[in-house]
Amino acid sequence: MGSYPYPPNGLVEIDYEFILIFKKPGESKKVLKEVKEASKLSKEEWKEYFSGHWHFGGAKQVGHEAMFPEELPLRLIRMFTFQGDTVLDPFLGSGTTVKMAIELSRNAIGYEINEGFLSLIEEKIGLKDKLPIFAQHIEIIRRKNNTFDVPKINYIPAIQNANPLIKPSELDKDTLFKVVKILSEDKLKLDNGQVIKFLGVIIEKPEETLNYLNQKILGEKILFKNNNDKKSSENFILAYVYLKNKLFINGYLIKSGLAVPELGISHKLYNKYIQFWKHAKDND
């Protein structure tokens, strides 16, 4: 939610997806009159399907994590194919597209790389309970080998996963990174996808700390030092964090009473943390 409930860094929720429509150039094929009639849309369906925005809910995710609602392939198949045409789904998943194609009297071909989804696909398409109707027309082909070698490409995804991209030991200590998100009162996300957790501090006042981080640290350039003997998790790096002007943020959090030192762990600045803490208590 970004800086919720204060401006200026609220995040807009992207709760929609685009459908991209591509068409091969060339003449449309001739279609028999009766097939055309059988594939006709009503006026209401046409208005609804060809409007720029669709509103319908998602599918309940059981057995697969990314299933379409049936309404989605149903509309697209009815909009762009005639009965008897062939629909290709290169990423079958649970088989929703093939199921709808069959129900709409189209042929269908689906590819799925993960054999674990086979029984789900069979169940969805109806192989198990509707055997006499569909079985003679449905064929499952298992590929034994890759039919071609996929060439290696130098691809770096735009959305990075949460794992550190560089091993902490390989970090250039003076590289500056921009803070792009305050993930919680003790974790920052950097512009290279890494997540940094303040080393050795326990946040005492989460709400005030979040305000401070959102107001003063979000969007700023920081450098961080990882204490190599302090183990970092796979998903974040435990580190001392400094602003470009060398303000030591971990220390500031303790000095200002927002955090206290994590007791009983050893790291280079432990004694310094204790001094900051005493200083904060004296000034309280």
Ligand X SMILES: C[S@@+](CC[C@H](N)C(=O)[O-])C[C@H]1O[C@@H](n2cnc3c(N)ncnc32)[C@H](O)[C@@H]1O
| Cα–Cα distance, 170 to 59 (Å, whole number) | 44
Q: Which is nearer to ligand X, 99 or 225 (CB)?
A: 99
Q: How far is the CB of 129 from ligand X (least distance, A)?
A: 19
| Cα–Cα distance, 55 to 78 (Å, whole number) | 17
Name the DSSP class of 79. Answer: H
Q: Which is nearer to ligand X, 34 or 115 (CB)?
A: 115
The answer to the question of residue 93 lying near ligand X (CB under 6 A) is yes
End-to-end CA, the chain: 32
Nearest Cα to 224, choosing from 191, 201, 206, 249? Answer: 249
Contact residue for ligand X among 86, 114, 160, 233 (CB under 6 A): 114
Read off the tokens for 85: 């045409």
The answer to the question of residue 67 lying near ligand X (CB under 6 A) is yes
Read off the tokens for 76: 């697209």
The answer to the question of residue 56 lying near ligand X (CB under 6 A) is no
Nearest Cα to 219, choosing from 9, 6, 7, 1? Answer: 9
The answer to the question of residue 68 lying near ligand X (CB under 6 A) is yes
The answer to the question of residue 119 lying near ligand X (CB under 6 A) is no
Contact residue for ligand X among 39, 83, 96, 232 (CB under 6 A): 96
Q: How far is the CB of 90 from ligand X (least distance, A)?
A: 6
Q: Which is nearer to ligand X, 8 or 116 (CB)?
A: 116
CB 106 within 8 A of CB 86: yes
Q: How far is the CB of 112 from ligand X (least distance, A)?
A: 5
- The DSSP element (H or E) to which 180 belongs, if any, is strand 177-184
Q: Which is nearer to ligand X, 93 or 168 (CB)?
A: 93
Q: How far is the CB of 126 from ligand X (least distance, A)?
A: 15
Coil/strand/helix, residue 239: strand
Coil/strand/helix, residue 242: strand
Residues 6+ apart with CB under 8 A from 217: 179, 182, 188, 243, 249
| Cα–Cα distance, 281 to 284 (Å, whole number) | 5
Contact residue for ligand X among 91, 135, 228, 278 (CB under 6 A): 91
Query: Residues binding ligand X: what is the number (CB under 6 A)?
Result: 14
Q: Which is nearer to ligand X, 115 or 129 (CB)?
A: 115
The answer to the question of residue 82 lying near ligand X (CB under 6 A) is no
Q: At what angle do helices 71-80 and 96-103 cross, to 10 degrees?
A: 50
CB 108 within 8 A of CB 97: yes
Contact residue for ligand X among 66, 133, 135, 263 (CB under 6 A): 66
Pairing of strands 187-190, 237-243: unpaired
Contact residue for ligand X among 83, 94, 209, 227 (CB under 6 A): 94
Contact residue for ligand X among 4, 80, 111, 134 (CB under 6 A): 111
Contact residue for ligand X among 75, 83, 98, 112 (CB under 6 A): 112
Which residue's CB atom is positioned nearest to ligand X?
Answer: 93
Q: How far is the CB of 45 from ligand X (least distance, A)?
A: 22
* Residues that bind ligand X in the complex, under the rule CB under 6 A: 64, 66-68, 91, 93-94, 96-97, 111-114, 117
